[in-house]
Structure 1
């Protein structure tokens, strides 16, 4: 991997990045296999996942500050692998809360003037600067919050055997890419809604059900379109929301299982040969 840049950020580096690195407990198969307390510290092709994510964010000029959220900050503060990031003075380590949504809120409280904010996860070792730039530039500037999604056909074309959770709307099936943007303080209402649904993230019908019985029926019948769901959620939270189509299949590959780890290492090996990225996608707004 490339070394951490030592130059100062340009004046336009006003984007705060939050990296969720919390533990899933002793039952996490990736952490257990690697013999580490947190999946974020498990090596992928010899480099801890969290280090890979931080290197990617360091290579994005618009990112000014990074907050890593982890239960035991000492795991980052005392590990030589993170010394270069800490030396730059733009990395903060925040104690994780009891859930991802609460951890995001903890980071937003710990970092002064945190908006606009990019949220991602430490188990995203395939994240690249091009993905971050595409996501940010394609998110409508008038949206309070946005989420990155990849189409099922994009993912399956590149990785036909990978297992992902899909949100199946009338205009296609989508998988999350662990990329979110919170542009304004108004987006905090979306985080509050997230607290209600995060336990059901693998059960899309339960999340849609919170938008009302009509939305749920439309979803079950395969008629609910992504834009309509965003509009309904926007009305519920008092925000304008957007979904950005990510044309990169790798953006949807996080490392939850040992087979994900094997896939990530294979992809990284192919990147060494100079594999070219995919074309641009589109944004869907409420």
Structure 2
């Protein structure tokens, strides 16, 4: 892991949280970056500022976050333009991603420079607020892993036309919030499982099938809740995972396509105007 700049090393090893900020992208040309004339998705500007810069400022402004590791294929290449200030921020370091997100995070989490507890989020989440981050950290409790989720009833009440990937369980459908709380070394077991299912993360039934046919059938027939499904899957793998139901509709909106960008920009402009 490289530190930027070396003369301003972060104060690692404190009692607070480490935030790993995912700022890489999949191989090939990213459609959103291309649409906005950028090489890197994280540098796409929204409401006048690059997404990576916005998310980093949110994390730094959240009580309890002591350090940030920006994880990307070429993290130093991102620290230009709006994001140039990150190179001089003593609480920020960088790490290069490897063959996959989960494997890259597993290589960092729990190290001397990236101690537990760890909060994982993404650069394409410019609507993130300190309140959302604090809720995700508090929601972990004594579990090994917490998964930030937003209920369909919460998100669609505020943004009825928004298109998300929904995981449907008994009583409610859910979408991810790109917020994960990793509390203990057992979280590495979750990262191993994530690595195995990473390519199916947006295909609900295929994802659940990795944890056994019975669980997949119960989810398909909506005879199990999200909390029940996470409890069963994680117990089978040797750790305890809990869903963290976030009461913020915007927590479920990340930026994958121009329509997401337009919605998020309108939300940010309204926020900043008020």
1:186-218 alpha-carbon deviations (Å, 9 max, x no partner): 110000000111100111111111222211211
Decide whether the 8 Å contact of 2:49 with 2:82 is kept in 1. no
- In structure 2, the residue matched to 1:127 is 128
For residues 78-89 of structure 1, what are the structure 2 equivalents within 5 Å? 79-89=80-90
**Where does residue 230 of structure 1 map in the other structure?**
230
Change (3 A) 1:95 1:113: closer
CA distance in 2, matches of 1:149, 1:56: 19
Which runs of 4 or more aligned residues in structure 1 lie more than 6 Å from their structure 2 counterparts after TM superposition?
none
Are 2:69 and 1:67 aligned?
yes
Quote the residue 2:47 is aligned against. Answer: 45
Corresponding residue SS for 1:185: coil
Provide the rounded CA distance (Å) in 1 between the counterparts of 2:83 and 2:258: 24
Query: CA offset at residue 236 of structure 1?
Result: 2.1
Which of the numbers 15, 18, 30 marks the counterpart of 1:16? 18
| Larger CA deviation: 50-59 vs 222-231 | 222-231
3-state DSSP of counterpart to 1:264: helix
> In the TM superposition, what is the alpha-carbon distance from 1:109 to its structure 2 partner?
6.9
- Separation of aligned partners in 1, 2:253 and 2:31: 16
2:251 equivalent in structure 1: 251
Structure 1 residue 99: deviation in Å? 1.8
What whole-Å deviation, never above 9, does each CA across 1:170-191 have from its counterpart, x for those lacking one? 1210000000010111110000
8 A Cα contact 1:94 1:110, kept in partner: no
Q: Distance in 2 between matches of 1:244 and 1:224?
A: 17
Q: What is the RMSD computed on CA atoms of the aligned residues?
A: 1.9
| Aligned residue in 1 for 2:5 | none
User: Does the 8 Å contact 1:65/1:90 carry over to 2?
Assistant: yes
Change (3 A) 1:125 1:97: same
Deviations 1:74-126 (Å, cap 9, x if unpaired)? Answer: 2134x253343332311111111222212212433765252100000010000
Instruction: Give the SS at the match of 1:56.
Output: helix
Q: CA deviation at 1:128?
A: 0.5
TM-score, normalization by structure 1:
0.87
1:240 aligns with 2:243: no
User: Does structure 1 retain, via aligned residues, the 8 Å contact 2:110–2:185?
Assistant: no
The 2-side partners of 1:252 and 1:149 are apart by: 7
TM-score, normalization by structure 2: 0.91
In structure 2, the partner of 1:144 is 144
Structure 2 Cα separation of the partners of residues 95 and 215 of structure 1: 35
1:97 and 1:106 in contact (8 A); partners too: no
Structure 1 unmatched runs, 5+:
1-7, 275-286
Aligned to 2:102: 101
Structure 1 residues 14 and 109, CA, compared in 2 at 3 Å: closer, same or farther?
Answer: closer
